[in-house]
Amino acid sequence: MGRHLITNAGRLVPGWTLEENGIEFCGHSPFAQRTQEGLLDRNDNCLVMQAVIRVDGRDTRFLITADSVAENWQRIVSITDAHGNEHRLAWDVFKIPHHCSYLSMAEEKGVEKTTPTPEFESLLSRGSERSVMISTSWEIPSRDTDDNQPPHVQTYRRYKETAEALDADLIVTMENPSKRQPSRTTISIDGNGPTLKKEAVSAAVAITSSRSPRVG
């Protein structure tokens, strides 16, 4: 990445504008933290950004989340809201962080379902209706696993609640379009916002379909 693309958290990445390029990036992490001992190194934090893509006069917001953990999300949400930039955490496409690990959502996995921190709960509430949520992960296990390797079924169940509330598409990359035949996940963005391209696979034919456009 060129030096001109490096910027402080909470600022737009220079060189990209909606007016000239049809896309802009707002950095949320890594960020520096000031303590009594001075300014802490910010390189331990993952790259978290909001990309806004403008097509036919409509803005689609894509939240890029990397492997960020709950502690970082607590800071990102708190700092963003304190500066009156709540819209910078809004999303139409949500890349589920950390391969659907509970560590992004909370400190505890939970028995049946992961309970998010208040800040992560707030983050989930900022999704739009008919949005797209993507877990870049192996298939979701049917039951709890003893190790901490993601994905975690308890955390997936909580994401599924958000998807159902928003009438959103929730996709697991290694289950799309099927567990036996996963393939590339494709999202198109146009004046109607994001649309997940779906493939119905049978032994004889693959049919590509998409959802009807949003209203309004």
Query: How far apart are alpha carbons 46 and 128 in whole angstroms?
Result: 24
Q: What is the pLDDT of residue 107?
A: 95
Tokens 């797209």 locate to 132
Q: What is the pLDDT of residue 208?
A: 46
pTM above 0.85, yes or no: yes
Report the percent of the chain where pLDDT is more than 90.
74
Sign of CA dihedral 46, 117, 185, 60: negative
Higher-pLDDT residue of 178 and 211 is 178
Please report whether residue 122 resides in a domain. Answer: yes
Please report whether residue 203 resides in a domain. Answer: no
- Where do the H-state alpha helices sit in 4-112? 18-21, 70-82
**Strand pairing of 127-135 and 91-95?**
parallel
Please report whether residue 197 resides in a domain. Answer: no
- From 8-22, 50-64, 149-163, the region with the lowest mean pLDDT: 8-22
CB atoms inside a 10 Å sphere around CB 6: 10
Please report whether residue 179 resides in a domain. Answer: yes
Q: Which has the closest alpha carbon to 184: 213, 157, 214, 206?
A: 206
Q: Rounded mean pLDDT of 119-128?
A: 98
CA 193 to chain centre: 16
- Domain hosting 138: range is 3-185
Find the angle CA(23)-CA(63)-CA(140) to the nearest 5 degrees: 140
Q: Rounded mean pLDDT of 18-26?
A: 96
What integer best gives the mean pLDDT of the chain? 87
Please report whether residue 215 resides in a domain. Answer: no
Please report whether residue 176 resides in a domain. Answer: yes
Please report whether residue 213 resides in a domain. Answer: no
Is residue 157 pLDDT above 90, yes or no? yes
Higher-pLDDT residue of 37 and 144 is 144
Domains in the chain, number: 1
Is residue 44 pLDDT above 50, yes or no? yes
Q: Which has the closest alpha carbon to 145: 102, 188, 90?
A: 102
Higher-pLDDT residue of 145 and 39 is 145
Quick one: pLDDT band at residue 96, thresholds 50, 70, 90? very high
Q: What is the pLDDT of residue 202?
A: 52
Higher-pLDDT residue of 41 and 81 is 81
Query: How far apart are alpha carbons 116 and 158 in whole angstroms?
Result: 8
131 φ, ψ (degrees, to nearest 5): -85, 180
Please report whether residue 212 resides in a domain. Answer: no
Which pair of tokens denotes residue 140?
Answer: 């979701």
Quick one: pLDDT band at residue 11, thresholds 50, 70, 90? confident
